[in-house]
Structure 1
Amino acid sequence: MAPRWLRAGVAAPLMLGLSLGNLPAARANLVPYVYIPQRVELEGAGLGIAQAASRLLRLGQAAEAAQLAALTVQLLPDDPRGWLLLAEAQLRSKQLKEAGTSLARAKELDPRNPGIWFAQGSLALREGKPEAAIELLGQGLKLDSNNAGAYFDIGNAHIQLAQPVPALKAFEQAAKLRRDFWEAINNQGLVLFDMGKTKEALGRWRQVLSLKPDAAETNLALATGLFSEAAGRQDSKYQEALALANKALAADPNYVLDSYQKDQLWGPKLRLITQELLQQSGLKAAVERALANANPDGNEEE
Structure 2
Amino acid sequence: MNRETRAIVGRRVTGLPPFAVPGLVLTFLVLLGCLTAWASTDVREGTKTAQRPMFLADWIRLVREHPDSAALRLSLARAYRRRNRLTDAIFSYSAALHLDSGLRAAVFERGEVLEELGRWNEAAADFRQGMKSKEYRERSLLGLARVQIAAGREKEGGETARRVREEFPENPVGYSLGGAVALEREEYETAIAFFSKALEKDSNDLRNVVSRAFALMKAGRFEEADSDFSRLLRNGSDHPLLWLDEGLVLFHLGRLDEAERYFRTVLYRRADTTVILEAEFLLGAVKFLRNDTDALSYLKGFLSRRGWGAAASPYTATLLYFEYLRVGDEANANRILHLALTRLKDRTWPFPIFGFFAKEISETDLLRIAGTSDRLTEALAYVAWFRFLRGDRSGAARLVRRLEKEGERTMVEYALARRLAERLRRDGKM
Under TM normalisation by the shorter chain, which class is it? Answer: 0.5 to 0.7
Of structures 1 and 2, the one with the larger relative CO (CA 8 A, separation 6+) is: 1
| Inter-partner Cα distance in structure 2 for 1:164 and 1:100 | 27
Contact 1:80 1:107 in 2 (8 A): no
Going from structure 1 to structure 2, the CA distance change for 1:246 and 1:96 (only over 3 Å counts) comes to: farther
> Which of 160, 180, 205 in structure 1 is aligned with 2:238?
180
> Which of 117, 130, 140 in structure 2 is aligned with 1:76?
130
Letter aligned with residue 165 of structure 2 = K
Displacement of 1:276: 1.9
Please, what TM-score do these two structures have when normalized by structure 2?
0.46
Displacement of 1:277: 4.2
Letter aligned with residue 112 of structure 2 = Q
Going from structure 1 to structure 2, the CA distance change for 1:74 and 1:153 (only over 3 Å counts) comes to: closer
Displacement of 1:84: 1.6
Q: What's the counterpart of residue 269 of structure 1?
A: none
| Inter-partner Cα distance in structure 2 for 1:137 and 1:150 | 6
Contact 2:158 2:178 in 1 (8 A): yes
1:18-29 equivalences under 5 Å are: none
Q: What's the counterpart of residue 134 of structure 1?
A: 192
Q: What's the counterpart of residue 169 of structure 1?
A: 227
Letter aligned with residue 214 of structure 2 = N
Going from structure 1 to structure 2, the CA distance change for 1:207 and 1:49 (only over 3 Å counts) comes to: same
Is 1:189 matched up with 2:247? yes
5+ residue gaps, structure 2, are 1-97, 322-335, 350-430
Larger radius of gyration: 1
1:216-295 equivalences under 5 Å are: 216-229=274-287, 231=291, 235-242=296-303, 245-246=306-307, 250=310, 253=311, 276-277=318-319, 280=336
Ranges of 4+ aligned residues in structure 1 off by more than 3 Å: 36-40, 230-236, 243-247, 277-289
| Inter-partner Cα distance in structure 2 for 1:157 and 1:275 | 30
1:84-123 equivalences under 5 Å are: 84-123=142-181
| Inter-partner Cα distance in structure 2 for 1:286 and 1:48 | 54
Displacement of 1:275: 7.1
SS of 2:117's equivalent in the other structure is helix
Letter aligned with residue 113 of structure 2 = A
| Inter-partner Cα distance in structure 2 for 1:193 and 1:286 | 30
Contact 1:137 1:150 in 2 (8 A): yes
Displacement of 1:99: 0.7
Contact 2:127 2:143 in 1 (8 A): no
Contact 1:73 1:83 in 2 (8 A): yes
| Inter-partner Cα distance in structure 2 for 1:243 and 1:39 | 64
Is 1:143 matched up with 2:204? no
CA RMSD of aligned residues (A): 3.6
Going from structure 1 to structure 2, the CA distance change for 1:189 and 1:97 (only over 3 Å counts) comes to: same
Going from structure 1 to structure 2, the CA distance change for 1:242 and 1:228 (only over 3 Å counts) comes to: farther
Displacement of 1:100: 0.7
Number of residue-to-residue matches in the alignment = 231
Q: What's the counterpart of residue 74 of structure 2?
A: none
Going from structure 1 to structure 2, the CA distance change for 1:244 and 1:147 (only over 3 Å counts) comes to: farther
CA shift digits 1:272-300 (9 cap, x unpaired) = x65724975777898669x79xxxxxxxx
Percent of matched pairs sharing the same residue: 22
| Inter-partner Cα distance in structure 2 for 1:52 and 1:169 | 36
Give the structure with the larger helix fraction: 1
Is 1:160 matched up with 2:221? no
Q: What's the counterpart of residue 396 of structure 2?
A: none
Deviates more, 1:225-234 or 1:156-165: 225-234
Displacement of 1:246: 4.6
> Which of 177, 198, 207 in structure 1 is aligned with 2:265?
207
| Inter-partner Cα distance in structure 2 for 1:287 and 1:176 | 43
Q: What's the counterpart of residue 114 of structure 2?
A: 53
Displacement of 1:39: 6.5
Letter aligned with residue 142 of structure 2 = L
5+ residue gaps, structure 1, are 1-35, 58-64, 258-272, 293-302
CA shift digits 1:159-185 (9 cap, x unpaired) = 233221111111112223342232222
Going from structure 1 to structure 2, the CA distance change for 1:45 and 1:228 (only over 3 Å counts) comes to: closer
Displacement of 1:67: 0.3
